[in-house]
Structure 1
Amino acid sequence: MKVLVVLSVFLVASQAKVVQSWASLQHVNSNLASISAISHDNGEGVVAPAPRIVGGAAVAQGQIPWQALLVMDGSSVCSGALVSSDWVLTTAHCLDGSRSFAVTLGATSRTAGQANAVTEYAKEAIVHASFNAKTYANDIGALRLQTLVDFTDYIDAVQLPSLSQASTTFEGATALVSGYGRTSSSSQAASDVLLQAEVQVISNAVCTQTFNTYIQSSNICSVGLNGQTPCDHGDSGGPLVVADDDSQYVLVGLMSFGAHNCPAGLPTAYVRVTSYLSWISANTGVALGPR
């Protein structure tokens, strides 16, 4: 059994591509081209990447200490989740094609400087080798920070699922999602402040009714609660977390795509983190708990 596990980790490690080295990430002034949307009509509207949070509540500093604000090539905005002192998980479509990555931790404002917040550049960006930019399959990536960050009351890593949770669906669980995306369909700008929303995890079978073949076993889906919902532009890579039995938050998803203009009641799709535990461990070295 141990040999099989080692072989599995080795194979997963080979399924990643390093986007850039640290030397090529510095002092890049080129603008990032717009991330292309999925243009297939599924009967409910056009599926689009980069969900936003509509009706979300503002977050206080220290409330979501694992939240990362990512700025690619000095312009485009995504979110991510700090999982160790030097690794941030996000979606592949946030990283693919970009050359520089500024990562701000400990902040709740996108536009104003804040005490207790730090900004680091990434020295390595990894995109899953099987990421498909048309279908958003394997939409996971990782950034390695140039400097190890100190954990504080405002900056801390979120807990990854344990190996024993690899087959857990989390269906029916109440979850929390956070990000800096647009706050309404009419807005074209990312939110100035970090927002959070309560959502409920739904089954992939229900999610497939909206997104058809875009939904795979490596996705996890949610619907908004109390009028709050993620939908479009700026929240991509945003962490979806659930509380475990010890009231510790566990990272179960990374926001991947949603329905265009976020019609009420339609779901949002995320990367299912439990589907990529071996990939995460092999490429970041972050240890996984047995239970």
Structure 2
Amino acid sequence: MAVKLSCFVFLIIVLITQSEQQALSKLKMKGFTKPARPTTQDEIIAYMKNPANTPKIDFKPTGTYPQTNRAGFSEYHLAPQILGGTNASQRQFPWVAFMVMDGSSICNGAVISADWILTTANCVYGVDEFEIYVGGVDTDVEEKFEQIVFSDYYYRHPDFDTSTYENDIALVPVNLTFNDYYYPYIRPICLPKLSQTSNSFNKVSAVLAGYGDTVENSATDGSRFMQYVTLRTVNNAVCVANYGSSDFFSTNICTGPHPTKAPCDNDDGAPLMYRDSQTGRYTVIGLYSFGSSSSCDNRPVAYTRVSSFLGWISQVTNLAIRP
């Protein structure tokens, strides 16, 4: 995939408030982070006992168009083993999208249909144009079976909070070609089932794939190659202990900490994927939302819990959710 950044200059006059300007400046950084906040044991216990902090769906899905039965299948099985990641191969994660926003900043996303890319709200905030690459794994070359699509619109969750990153989820409309020529290089990943909306996905093995930095404080933006890493989800109490109960929600999933494996700058929006051992299909259970401001590694990491937003996703896309 040869990334060609636009050289056009646009003059855009936008009137926004000072607080919006500050929020937009923060979101345009290489990746959103939060400082550690001292949290008492009593606060952690209270958070975990509060019924409001258990996973749940937002509202009943109304979509009627099912995902393709090809969704979620990969041509490769992972070795039992981004930061500390491994280069991915074509066809391994054929739903991972590399996104260039306004010709400069980068993010990641997940194909959920020929018409929609799922990503985080922090990736789309204030963006005018998306250049999206799907089907490839190398940003420096044009790859066979790769598709490049453009979009100038997005649907950001209406309750996205730029301070806490609550409800950090968005959808970008696209026009991908799904047919036998591109299959299995481009296909969607499964959305969670309705029966999984109360699943904590605690202590499961999950895979993160994206184009973020492979070392901290990198001089370049992101990785040339798609990287993947196998992570272990942990109880949300681990993230609450690090970020505080007012900055971590039931609509988040937590991984880590790990000394060498973690998402880093420019991994925003990268899909966290769970593979069903019986069917072999991958489901997107999370989207990388934020990490620690002190370090990429050895700190717990927060993801948007996709199952908490199935009603909103279905409402916007008209996709039916499996029972």
The TM-score normalised by the length of structure 2 is: 0.74
Q: Report Cα offsets for 1:61-93 as digits up to 9, x if no partner.
A: 110001001111011100000001110000001
How far apart are residue 148 of structure 1 and its match?
4.4
* From 95, 98, 116, the counterpart of 1:66: 95
Name stretches of at least 5 consecutive residues in structure 2 with no aligned partner.
1-5, 12-23, 39-81
Partners of 1:39 and 1:273 in 2: CA distance: 20
Contact in 2 for aligned 1:224/1:230 (Cα 8 Å): no
AA aligned opposite 1:153 = P
Change (3 A) 1:116 1:228: same
Number of equivalenced pairs? 256
Residue of structure 2 in register with 1:18 after alignment: none
* From 190, 195, 203, the counterpart of 1:164: 195
Instruction: Say which SS state the counterpart of residue 111 (structure 1) adopts.
Output: coil
Residue of structure 2 in register with 1:278 after alignment: 311
Residue of structure 2 in register with 1:179 after alignment: 210
Identity %: 34
Partners of 1:228 and 1:39 in 2: CA distance: 17
Residue of structure 1 in register with 2:36 after alignment: 42
* From 115, 125, 129, the counterpart of 2:144: 115
1:65-214 alignment, distance < 5 Å: 65-150=94-179, 152-189=183-220, 190-212=222-244, 213-214=246-247
Instruction: Say which SS state the counterpart of residue 65 (structure 1) adopts.
Output: coil
How far apart are residue 146 of structure 1 and its match?
3.7
Stretches (4+) displaced over 3 A: 26-34, 36-41, 146-151
AA aligned opposite 1:42 = A
Larger Rg computed on CA atoms: 2
Instruction: Say which SS state the counterpart of residue 250 (structure 1) adopts.
Output: strand
Higher normalized strand content (fraction of residues): 1
AA aligned opposite 1:142 = L
* From 68, 85, 100, the counterpart of 1:56: 85
Query: What is the root-mean-square deviation in Å for CA atoms of aligned residues?
Result: 2.3
Q: Report Cα offsets for 1:236-275 as digits up to 9, x if no partner.
A: 0000001123221111000000012535431111100010
The TM-score normalised by the length of structure 1 is: 0.82
Partners of 2:143 and 2:33 in 1: CA distance: 38
Which moved further from structure 2: 176-185 or 148-157?
A: 148-157
Does residue 265 of the first structure (1) align with residue 292 of the second (2)?
Answer: no
Contact in 2 for aligned 1:89/1:141 (Cα 8 Å): yes
AA aligned opposite 2:139 = R
AA aligned opposite 2:308 = S
Residue of structure 1 in register with 2:251 after alignment: 218
Partners of 2:102 and 2:168 in 1: CA distance: 20
How far apart are residue 188 of structure 1 and its match?
3.0
How far apart are residue 111 of structure 1 and its match?
2.5
